[in-house]
Amino acid sequence: MADHYEALGVDRDATTDQIKKAYRRLARELHPDVNPGAEASERFKSITHAYDVLSDAKQRQKYDQGGGQNGGFDGQNFGNFGDIFETFFGGGGGSSRGPRSRRERGQDALIRVELDLDEVIFGTHRDLEVDTAIVCDTCKGSCCAPGTSPITCDICHGTGSIQRAVRSLLGNVMTSSPCGSCRGYGTIIATPCMTCSGQGRVRARRTVPVDIPAGVDTGLRLQMPGSGEAGPAAGPNGDLYLEMKVRHHDVFSRDGDDLMCSLDVSMTNAILGTNVTVKALDGDIEVEIRAGSQSSEVLTIKDRGITKLRGSGRGDLKIGIHVLTPTKLDHKERDLIEQFAARYAAPAPTLSQYQQGLFAKLRDRFLG
């Protein structure tokens, strides 16, 4: 690899101003907008990298020392016992670890999905629009402008770390720290992709098809491995989590895998009995109101509840009877009721044990 001083055409003892002036002169001559040739483009990358190193005092010192291999005592690293012990027990001051990878796993993502109760019975399909990170289509995750590639760091020579001799209680030992020039990657992106700014990924909206199983409930989370955000430099995707929220229904409520509702029945129908057709979430149901039905009685319709998330089969539909007592009667209706009461000889009201059960749950739902 060409010497940075030679690339800029300056002496090794050149001042910072001289280095800056040399870079500006060459940049105006070799910039791709002025000189689009391939050779000029490569030279432009070379002088830009050379200037990045030589214009920084610390990086220039490391470069002049050949990556710091012969550096002397550095007080800032004194007492770095993690590196000292790694030197003796971990294999040579960390050099065996190699450079960092730019590819990292993407973050997990969480989105909330609202469902209607009828969608929960048999499950449903959704095409979800998700704002997330995807691999950059321009550089395909390489982080580099098209036609270019990362170059080996001149400071650490591709190892991603800098070794220094440090005086410690155990004597002089070699310690290792991440290279400040390449940040431990071992390579430098001289010409980053303009679309993703050298990240290898961009923010975008994408469609995620999801088959939501039957039986889910509010608070349940479904995991979709590999459907989360793309990682830097085309790293593997994280996971996508879907948190379910089932909307309130005005008629039906849920108790596990069972559905519950109440049915208002007139007093005469409760006395005489009748058959009615009611609209359930998955179709019409014929309900028999037996003669003499009482309020708080529960009719169970088997296998008309929610499909079970785990296992097989469905829950039940439970209908609580609510007998309506008329409150406004004309004179003729009142005479008929009084005649019925006289003939029926109903017993006087008496106290009995308070009954709790399904109908109490139904009543509580209406009370909020």
Binding site for Zn(2+), by residue number, is 136, 139, 153, 156, 179, 182, 193, 196
Query: Angle 38-54/57-64 helices, nearest 10 degrees?
Result: 100
Count Cα atoms within 13 angstroms, Cβ side, for 135: 15
Burial class (CB in 10 A: 0-12, 13-18, 19+), 356: exposed
Looking up tokens 């139904």, which residue turns up?
362
Residue among 288, 261, 268, 284 nearest 276 (CA):
288
Q: How many residues does the chain have?
A: 368
What backbone phi and psi angles, to 5 degrees, belong to 234?
A: 60, 35
The per-residue b/e assignment along 340-354, b for 16 or more CB within 10 angstroms, e otherwise, is eeeeeeeeeeeeeee
8, two tokens:
């800029």
CA distance 217 to 358: 20
Known binding-site residue numbers: 136, 139, 153, 156, 179, 182, 193, 196
